[in-house]
Amino acid sequence: MSLSTKKENRISKFLSLVLRHKPETIGIELDASGWVNVDTLLVQMKANGMPVEKPELEQVVANNAKQRFSFNTDQTKIRANQGHSISVELGLPPTEPPEILYHGSAAKNFDSIVSSGLLKGSRQHVHLSADIETAAQVGQRHGKPIVFQVDAGAMHKTGILFFKSDNGVWLTEYVPKQYLSTLND
């Protein structure tokens, strides 16, 4: 069974909504670590106008370019890897980051970021990338992109914790402005 790109994207966006932000939209509850039973999810998706079969769900999880979702080892549960605006404990151990990480944002946010640093906003963490290209793609989603270089090594040396999600996104609570520099002129 092969889904069209359009249907994969529609399912992925729906999963992002219910697994990261509003599970109540379809009447599911995530456990403390963000997991939900796959069978329950599929029943509730169907009941709410988004019928998906398990092989389709597996395809979306496997093919998602950003690897936003994961199954547990026996594929009975699913969760979003990061990006939650609801409280979940992903159980990620603190991890020493590379010396330099990157953050992409829209250019319209430049003044605010330079003034206040990187804030997590409604999310649980600030998201950082290991490479410039990924950061630029993230920033591009909201207009003209701007990429900041983050002195993650120096932050880590001061005791600021970093976590690495299952899909390689680096997470931290806050990036103070003194650890930022811009790559854009």
Mean pLDDT of 55-69: 91
Q: Indicate the domain borders of the chain.
A: 5-80, 101-182
Q: Per-residue pLDDT tens for 108-162?
A: 999 999 999 999 988 889 999 999 999 999 899 888 999 999 999 999 999 999 9
Residues 6+ apart with CB under 8 A from 165: 81, 82, 90, 92, 171
Strand 163-164, strand 145-150: pairing: unpaired
- Fold adopted by 5-80: Arc Repressor Mutant, subunit A (1.10.10)
User: Are 124 and 113 within 8 A, CB to CB?
Assistant: no
Mean pLDDT of 164-172: 92
CATH number of 101-182: 3.20.170.30
Backbone angle region of 150, left / alpha / beta, with phi > 0 → left and psi within -120 to 50 → alpha = beta
